[in-house]
Structure 1
Amino acid sequence: MTISSTPDDVSVAPRHLRFDVAEDLKTLWHGNDAFRTAFFNALSLQFPDGEQQFINAVRHYRDRIDDPKLAEEIRGFIGQEALHSREHKSYNEALKARGYDIDGLDRRFRKHMDWVARLPASRQLAGTCGAEHYTAVLANAILSHPEWMDGATPTMRALWRWHAIEETEHKSVAFDVYRHCIGNERLRRIVFLFVTWNFFKYTFINTCSLLKTDGELWNLRTWLGGLNFLWGKPGVLRKCLPDFLAYFRKGFHPWQQDNRSLLEDNLRELENVV
């Protein structure tokens, strides 16, 4: 019985790449823009612990998967997420070396993730599906709109492109496991509300903390530029909003947004810089 819904021409396999971002992170690497730099750095802070939790949530159910294709994709998913966690851990250590209060932010987020780890396995997997939806939609946005990374240093552009490619490749793996092993649509939607609250809460808290260290927290121009980036033009979150909300649709599935065509072009660009 085939459970996997990943298209046959999409491979879920880890790429063993390393990104030396220490020098880039000494700067406002995203076009010398304090808000854009802080926003992406704030996202990075959630990845090491978050992606380890994704791995743990899927592992609870991997022995119940008898579809060889999905079983292989679970191995690829775990490998990809483990490498993402490793690279973003190095990324975050470089932020710490610059003087940001990374330890304090980590403690706050880790306390939340420890709470998540004590939830029933079904809720952990539902949460993983919801969080993977956010990463998949943001990944699609980054791949669809490379101009949103204009001004970023080449290494940082490559790191975020690599992460976005692999989030796209494995975007349905946890969802397929959930659909096969649990399949509770009401639970999926309810947990997504909690995921949404926590995703935006920790992104906002992290962004504010980083801006405070940079002396930009109370700079009106910085916030106006940031709000324009997220909700005006280009409107990163504004343009993602319909895709975020699609998760509530009855019968939703990640590959209803079929963006395979983006993978080939972005993989070719990635190979040119790493």
Structure 2
Amino acid sequence: MAISSTPEGVSVQPRHIRFDVSEELKTFWHGNDAFRTAFFNALSLQFPDGEQQFINAVRLYRDKIDDPKLKSEIRGFIGQEALHSREHKEYNEGLKARGYDIDAIDRRFAKHMAWVGRLPASRQLAGTCGAEHYTAVLANAILSHPEWMEDATPAMARLWRWHAIEETEHKSVAFDVYRECVGNERLRRIVFLFVTWNFFKYTFLNTCSLLKTDGKLWSVRTWLGGLNFLWGKPGVIRKCMPEFLAYFRKGFHPWQQDNRRLLEKSLSELESSTR
């Protein structure tokens, strides 16, 4: 029996799409809202180094996989993540051009990722599975709730939709490699606690750094609006919490959230918007 669990009809193949968002990044591109813009920009700042680490972790086990389908999906996963890294590097350069101290933010996160890269291979792969779970759940939420991005500029909404689609397509690849080559459920859960802490820590720190440059760090109105966006209405993080916590369930697997129909619909929308 094949060890790949990617369901029929889902292809893990990179799409060579370019996004020029340099003009958008000169503005509060998400509805002229400082917090929403900073929150998504803060996520982007983690992607180049983070996704390179995901690639590195999976590569450590690539030669131990015999299943042709999973081997092909590993190639697709690496290709997709490499293109995400490329596009978000250009995205982050746009932030730097606006005047944010991106070099300082990068140094802070690179130090953490260098530490991750020195961990035993099993822990690196477990960390990748945990981080991929966060990106997959957020991706599903963005695709399920297009109204969350309706105030974004069209180019930015398209970039985030593309990223969300591909995170959904490959959401089980690292997990399947882990299940085949490591398979330690206790380690998977424990490492997820550390991933959770670091995911929220660096997203918060990055958001604060960006808001400080915008002169909004101590704006009560900005933070009240941001807390409402994340925890109130629409409640981006609040609505994701049940799926985030599902990772702790015994026998958890990413495709227990079967969102193939949503993926198909989102792909059709992406293709029509990039013609």
Q: TM-score, normalised by structure 1?
A: 0.99
Q: 2:36 matched to 1:36? A: yes
Q: Which amino acid aligns with 1:213?
A: T
Task: Name 1:66's counterpart in structure 2.
Answer: 66
String of CA shifts for 1:119-146, please: whole Å, max 9, x gaps: 0000000000000000000000000000
Where in structure 2 are there 5+ consecutive unaligned residues?
Answer: none
SS at match of 1:166: helix
Letter in 1 for 2:237: L
How far, CA to CA, are the matches of 1:130 and 1:146 in structure 2?
25
In the TM superposition, what is the alpha-carbon distance from 1:8 to its structure 2 partner?
1.5
- In the TM superposition, structure 1's runs of 4+ consecutive aligned residues that sit over 2 Å from their partners are none
Per the alignment, in what secondary structure is the counterpart of residue 273 of structure 2?
A: coil
Residue 165 of structure 2 corresponds to 165
- Name the aligned partner's letter for residue 218 of structure 2: W
Q: Distance in 1 between matches of 2:150 and 2:96?
A: 25
**Corresponding residue of 2:24:** 24
Structure 2 matches for 1:76-95, cutoff 5 A?
A: 76-95=76-95
The DSSP-based 3-state class of the residue aligned with 1:122 is: helix
Partner of 1:129: 129
One-letter code aligned to 1:248: F
Correspondence for 1:153 = 153
Counterpart of 2:174 in 1: which secondary structure? helix
SS in 2 for 1:106: helix
Shift of 1:272: 2.0
Distance in 2 between residues matched to 1:264 and 1:119, nearest whole Å = 37
Deviation sequence 1:65-100 (CA, Å, 0-9, x none)? 000000000000000000000000000000000000
**Mapped partners of 2:185, 2:268: distance in 1:** 37
User: Counterpart of 2:265 in structure 1: which amino acid?
Assistant: D
Identity %: 85
SS in 2 for 1:28: coil
- Does 2:268 align with 1:238? no
Alignment of 1:100 with 2:94, yes or no, is no
Q: Which residue of 2 aligns with 1:250?
A: 250
Structure 1 CA distance, aligned partners of 2:216 and 2:122?
A: 41
Question: Take 2:246 and 2:260, find their aligned partners in 1: how far apart are those partners?
Answer: 18
Which runs of no fewer than 5 residues in structure 1 stay unpaired? Answer: none
- Which residue number in structure 2 is paired with residue 192 of structure 1? 192
Q: Distance in 2 between matches of 1:268 and 1:225?
A: 33
Secondary structure at the residue paired with 1:272?
Answer: helix
CA RMSD across the alignment: 0.5
1-side partners of 2:268 and 2:26: how far apart? 28
CA displacement 1:204-229 (0-9 Å, x = unmatched): 00000000101111110100000000
In the alignment, the residues of structure 1 paired with residue 103 and residue 120 of structure 2 have an alpha-carbon distance, to the nearest angstrom, of 28
Letter in 2 for 1:107: R
Describe the SS at the equivalent of 1:7. Answer: coil
Question: What letter corresponds to residue 16 of structure 1 in structure 2?
Answer: H
